[in-house]
């Protein structure tokens, strides 16, 4: 696709500084720009690159004032980062057009309800009583268990497994090799044996949820494991039985959430975070990467770090001392020796 600066300015309600007829057909980071590419400058730490970039057009914030001449045509917008993201979304829709129709060989049970403009890829297995909404795309090698409901405009990529009775909402994206509805980790220990506790619940995924590749979301022991609307999960995340993740929460890769924990709305959880079971995390909490959460966080908007985690400002102050712990110990040992020497002199 090609866009002129004039077309982009109209689309973004922006102001052109430079040649309005120049065209772009690709995008690039500002430091890696080439002729025919569109870049953006939102963070002034990267300002130096705008004076040397080869990109033909650069999106900038309206208050940006260059200190040197710039070769590129500028388009001034209210928010350069958001405008660039909007353009990427438009390009993505044009470039990533999904197929329609049913490919064979695939198995679709006779009582499946299939909406309009659905795609079901080859070697997929759709079990009894499944409902598939309009415009939903199911790529090859997907397994959908009995009584599963999938909403409209949802994309399920190759290798996904959705176990029986689970519900997936509208406008969701589930990436390859994720498993939804596998058994929760429930065992009763007695007489040196672990007796499996049947997991008879399901998983409910609400609208506009995106789940990365190779995630595992366990079914509830009873009731539902719930992923609320607008939640975004990165790759390689484990969500245990009966967990509830509040709307608009985002979680980075390799995080594990133990059973029956409830996470609030608008939280941000970094990578490799471990969260113990039966906890409550308040709304708008931020958890730094590699933190260990062993107790509930009840204060809205708390920012924490560490393992076990505590307030991030206190953690950072403590870390300053921790870094110097060997020197501090050497000083203490030296002082202890001096005290012993003084005691000997005093006793004389």
Q: Is the pLDDT of residue 176 over 70?
A: yes
Kind of pairing, strands 15-17 and 26-27? unpaired
> Based on the domain organization, do 130 and 52 belong to the same domain?
no
For residue 216, give Cα distances in angstroms to 26, 210, 249: 36, 13, 17
Q: Is the pLDDT of residue 63 over 90?
A: yes
Which has the minimum average pLDDT: 149-153, 264-268, 331-335? 331-335
Say what the pLDDT of residue 333 is: 87
Say what the pLDDT of residue 179 is: 98
Q: Which of 60, 77, 95 is the last residue of a domain?
A: 95
Give residue for tokens 């060989």.
105
CATH code, 64:
3.40.1390.10
As a whole-number percent, the residues of the chain with pLDDT over 70 amount to 99
Say how many domains are in the chain: 3
Q: Cβ(212)–Cβ(230) under 8 Å?
A: no
- Residue closest to 262 by CA, chosen among 287, 279, 237: 279
97 Cβ neighbours under 8 A, 6+ residues apart: none
CATH code, 204:
2.160.10.10
> Based on the domain organization, do 214 and 149 belong to the same domain?
yes
User: pTM of the predicted model, to two decimals?
Assistant: 0.81
> Based on the domain organization, do 85 and 224 belong to the same domain?
no
Q: Is 104 exposed, middle or buried (0-12, 13-18, 19+ CB in 10 A)?
A: exposed
> Based on the domain organization, do 125 and 220 belong to the same domain?
yes
- Residue numbers of the domain that contains 327: 320-347
- Residue closest to 256 by CA, chosen among 273, 232, 231: 273
> Based on the domain organization, do 32 and 141 belong to the same domain?
no
Q: Which of 43, 72, 95 is the last residue of a domain?
A: 95
CA distance 191 to 87: 62
Say what the pLDDT of residue 323 is: 82
The pLDDT tens digits of the residues spanning 195-206 come to 888 899 999 999
> Based on the domain organization, do 162 and 72 belong to the same domain?
no
> Based on the domain organization, do 105 and 91 belong to the same domain?
no
> Based on the domain organization, do 55 and 11 belong to the same domain?
yes
> Based on the domain organization, do 71 and 214 belong to the same domain?
no
- Choosing from 98, 134, 241, 324, the catalytic residue is 241
The pLDDT tens digits of the residues spanning 79-137 come to 999 999 988 887 777 666 788 999 999 999 999 999 999 999 999 999 999 999 999 99
Residue 241 annotated to the active site: yes
> Based on the domain organization, do 281 and 141 belong to the same domain?
yes
> Based on the domain organization, do 249 and 194 belong to the same domain?
yes
């Amino acid at each position: 696709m090609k866009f002129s600066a004039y077309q982009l300015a109209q689309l973004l309600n922006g102001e052109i500084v430079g040649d309005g007829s120049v065209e772009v057909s690709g995008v690039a980071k500002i430091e890696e720009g080439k002729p025919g590419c569109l870049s953006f400058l939102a963070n002034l730490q990267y300002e130096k690159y705008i004076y040397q970039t080869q990109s033909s057009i650069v999106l900038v914030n309206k208050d940006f004032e260059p200190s040197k001449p710039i070769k590129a045509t500028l388009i001034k917008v209210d928010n350069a980062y958001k405008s660039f993201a909007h353009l990427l979304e438009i390009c993505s829709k044009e470039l990533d057009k999904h197929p329609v129709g049913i490919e064979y060989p695939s198995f679709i049970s006779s009582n499946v309800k299939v909406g309009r403009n659905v795609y079901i890829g080859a070697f997929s297995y759709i079990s009894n009583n499944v409902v598939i909404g309009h415009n939903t795309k199911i790529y090859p090698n997907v397994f959908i268990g009995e009584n599963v409901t999938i909403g409209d405009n949802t994309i399920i990529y190759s290798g996904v497994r959705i176990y029986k009775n689970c519900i997936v909402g509208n406008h969701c994206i589930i990436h390859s090799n994720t498993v939804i509805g596998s058994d929760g980790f429930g065992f009763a220990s007695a007489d040196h044996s672990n007796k499996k506790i049947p997991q008879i619940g399901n998983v409910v995924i609400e609208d506009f949820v995106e789940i990365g590749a190779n995630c595992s979301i366990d079914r509830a022991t009873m009731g539902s494991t719930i992923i609320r609307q607008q939640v975004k999960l990165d790759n390689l995340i484990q969500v245990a039985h009966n967990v509830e993740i509040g709307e608009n929460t985002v979680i980075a890769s390799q995080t594990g959430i133990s059973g029956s924990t409830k996470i609030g709305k608008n939280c941000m959880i970094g990578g490799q975070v471990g969260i113990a079971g039966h906890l409550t995390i308040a709304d708008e909490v931020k958890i730094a990467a590699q933190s260990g959460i062993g107790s509930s966080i009840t204060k809205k908007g708390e920012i924490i770090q560490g393992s076990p985690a505590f307030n991030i400002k206190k953690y950072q102050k403590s870390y300053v001392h921790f870094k110097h712990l060997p020197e501090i110990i050497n000083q203490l040992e030296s002082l202890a020796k001096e005290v012993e020497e003084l005691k000997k002199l005093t006793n004389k």
